[in-house]
Amino acid sequence: PTQAIAKVILTESDINQAFQAELVKQRLENLSLPALTELSGGKPVSFTDIKLKLQPKNRIQLLAQADLPNHGLVPVSLTSTLAVEKRRRILFQNSQFELDAVPESLQSVSQTLTEILDKILNKMVDLDRFNLDGVTMRINRLETQGDKLIFSGYAQIDRIPNNP
């Protein structure tokens, strides 16, 4: 086995572009979770137009639109602190609904949608899902610096994928 130390720098733009990738969109669109279908009369709900803004001290602000049948587009807004769990998952902790970005008439439904989106995000970024056969990746720490999110960690390579 071989170990490699890694430092990965993602810009805010990189992260927002990643929210447009099919792999990510399929986890955010046409969702039929019971908590969502209760709000939508049984129809699937999609979270779209996601914009993430990095803030100091590992905080982020996230804005999105929830396409909610019966309501149309409902703005969703939260702030959260990024953290690492078990060196493999990125968590959105201490998330708070930001009502300033939401019209008063939609605040109640938006707050519920924000809480659901927070739970979805907390299940999305798990490095074990992205591990290649024979390669294990781990995060030692992350931090926000200006418009950059910096990860440091390592990869353990037991064998080169697709190479017996």
Please give the Cα distance from 47 to 30 (Å, whole number): 8
Give percent of the chain above pLDDT 70: 95
Strands of 148-157's sheet, edge to edge? 2-11, 148-157, 135-145
The average confidence (pLDDT) of the chain is 90
Residue spans of the domains in the chain: they are 11-126
Cβ contacts of 47 within 8 Å, gap of 6 or more: 28, 29, 31, 64, 65, 66, 67, 76, 113, 117, 120
Q: Are 76 and 63 in contact (CB under 8 A)?
A: yes
Considering Cα of 84, then 87, then 90, then 93, what sign does the dihedral take?
negative
pLDDT at 162: 65
Tell me: pLDDT of 26 over 80.
Answer: yes
Residue 78 token pair = 């939260």
Residue 152 token pair = 């440091």
Band of pLDDT at residue 13, cut at 50, 70 and 90: very high
Tokens 């779209």 belong to residue? 48
- pLDDT tens digits for range 50-79: 999 999 999 999 999 999 998 899 999 999
Please give the Cα distance from 38 to 57 (Å, whole number): 36
Tell me: pLDDT of 30 over 60.
Answer: yes
Tell me: pLDDT of 164 over 60.
Answer: no
pLDDT at 85: 92
- pLDDT tens digits for range 124-158: 887 777 666 777 888 999 999 999 999 999 888 88
Band of pLDDT at residue 123, cut at 50, 70 and 90: confident
DSSP string, 46-61: EEEEEEEEEETTTEEE
